[in-house]
Amino acid sequence: MESYLAKRPLIRILDFFRATYYSFFTTPCDTVFAKPKTSTNYLDPVRNLILCFSTYISDAELFPNTSDNINSRLRIIRHRIEFNSFDLAPFEPLASLILSNATDIEVWNSLLQLIDTLESIFATQDEKVKNPAAKSIFRRAGTTQDCTEQKMEKLKLLLRRELHGSVYLNVQGFWKKYFTNKLWVEDCVDLAKEFVKRSAEDDLKFPEKPTEKLVWDWMEAVEKKIFLSPSETCTSSTTASSSTSGEKEGHFNKTQFRTTKASEFDGGQTARQVDYFIKRRGLPASNLHHWRDVLVVGEFTESTETVFMDKFLQLSVLMRELFFAQPLRQFAHGFHLFKKSLLLWVYDRSGPYCGSFIDIGKSPQTLVYVMAAYMSMSDAELGLDPHIKYEAHQITVTLEVPGPEKEREFKLSPEPDALQTSLVSQGN
């Protein structure tokens, strides 16, 4: 395909989209489609883009089976959006690439990913129409039961089916719900400001080429120089939050880790390498990390949002391991870092949901704020029940009881009667 694009470049399509985009949208903005100039016709740039791609493919002498398949799928999408209003969020990755003058092959790959995403969304919408009594689009479409030894690629395929109709993208109010109006916000803002003051220091400069290793080195430097050794003008949090051990939680009783080999983790269904995760400080020393101790999970990639689906499924596999090891976990935070684009997630047993992409290249202090927020969150804000403790292979639950004791600890059997191996459970 790359050689074909060299002979038949997309320049006319992309230039036309850029021209129409800037006619209908104001820049700069937080997200690509955040500031339409008018409440009417602002969907036209995307409609025209899909039409142009459809024409390009129908006129192209590509591999017949491939081009016919793509064109027929695009035609359905084009008809679907031609006279109906629609959410622009799924189009953001493709539009971002075009506006940043990405290569034709990057744009092409993003288009293919967009087609997959839109087909999934349309299928969910059609299902809701067929079942108007349904109160939610969350529903099981597959399972990963009995797949404890599956390879990553096989699990991605199974999770793709399982999560179909259970994924919410670009959720309005996501940032406000999870990252504002908390007791620790002021302290995290102070840490982000401290980072800005010192961001000219070599090891605090966000890498121009954000490889996994360089991003990790940067995050380590931020924790060491900003979080653990703040200046006198940036005081650490003294806010008290409840923890499972009854101790006071501040910013820094949690810390970040990474693994480079799958063999460094224990307690999951299969061995997994994890780019980034957060645990409490002071856990018993061990050569292995355990999934029961993981609070937050993150994934890095040097690629752009063109690999969104693959990396989303990879993060979902890791979340599956987390919920397997912590069966009473209510929800869990996670994130993707696509080169310099940050996407924040929350997973629960109904499925995952996320906000909009955040440009870290322009605002690395936002990632500093997010890191500080994760390390500042209380157990409840992290999705943990403060009445439940995981110790070794034992689960201890503290419950209120009648009588002078008021509370009593109960140890649950390490061998459960039922084992939930899938990610989406619907409370079953």
Residue 138: the pLDDT is: 32
Structure tokens at 267: 């307690």
Residue 127: the pLDDT is: 56
Residue 245: the pLDDT is: 37
Structure tokens at 114: 């967009």
Residue 395: the pLDDT is: 77
Alpha carbons 307 and 302: distance in angstroms, whole number: 10
Which residues of the chain are modeled with pLDDT < 50? 128-148, 232-233, 235-250
Residue 285: the pLDDT is: 77
Residue 237: the pLDDT is: 40
Amino acid at 356: S
Residue 49: the pLDDT is: 93
Residue 66: the pLDDT is: 54
Sign of CA dihedral 66, 68, 69, 74: positive
Q: What CATH topology corresponds to 152-228+251-384?
A: tt1808, chain A (3.90.1570)
| H or E element, residue 346 | strand 341-348
Residue 330: the pLDDT is: 92
pTM of this structure:
0.64
Residue 284: the pLDDT is: 80
Residue 86: the pLDDT is: 80
Residue 71: the pLDDT is: 78
Sign of CA dihedral 101, 105, 106, 111: positive
Structure tokens at 88: 């622009």
Residue spans per domain, the chain: 1-125, 152-228+251-384
Residue 403: the pLDDT is: 76
